Amino acid sequence: MEQLILLLFVFVMAAFLGFELIQKVPSQLHTPLMSGSNAISGITVVGALLAVESGGELGKWLGFSALILATINVVGGYMVTNRMLSMFKKKDSKEAGK
């Protein structure tokens, strides 16, 4: 029971601090920070896989939901990064004439 309370406390503090940190970041920096955070989400995917494998019934469901959310975050981050990088590519001569 004590371990559950400690884990819940860490989760709430991480959510609160993450919200406060993102709120203070200027909007121009959101996309570069998102692309940089994909490595952290990749680590979350590995941790979620371990939780699904070794946890009890609650751990399996929490690990599965963490796996789904982290995968969405990784894929979305790469899509945004790809879109951001495509803005800096030169356009073809056919597209430039349109």
Q: Note whether residue 3 is domain-resident.
A: no
Q: Cα 73 to the chain's mean position, in Å? A: 4
Q: Note whether residue 15 is domain-resident.
A: no
Q: What is the pLDDT of residue 97?
A: 55
DSSP string over 71-92:
HHHHHHHHHHHHHHHHTTSPPP
pTM above 0.75, yes or no: no
Q: Note whether residue 18 is domain-resident.
A: no
Give the dihedral sign, CA 20/22/28/33.
Answer: positive
> Does 6 score more than 70 pLDDT?
yes
Q: Note whether residue 22 is domain-resident.
A: no
Q: Looking at the 3D structure of the chain, how many domains does it have?
A: 1
| Contact (Cβ atoms closer than 8 angstroms) between residue 51 and residue 59 | yes
Q: Note whether residue 34 is domain-resident.
A: yes
Residue-range definition of the domain harbouring residue 38: 29-86
Tens of pLDDT along 32-65?
A: 776 667 777 788 888 888 888 887 888 888 889 9
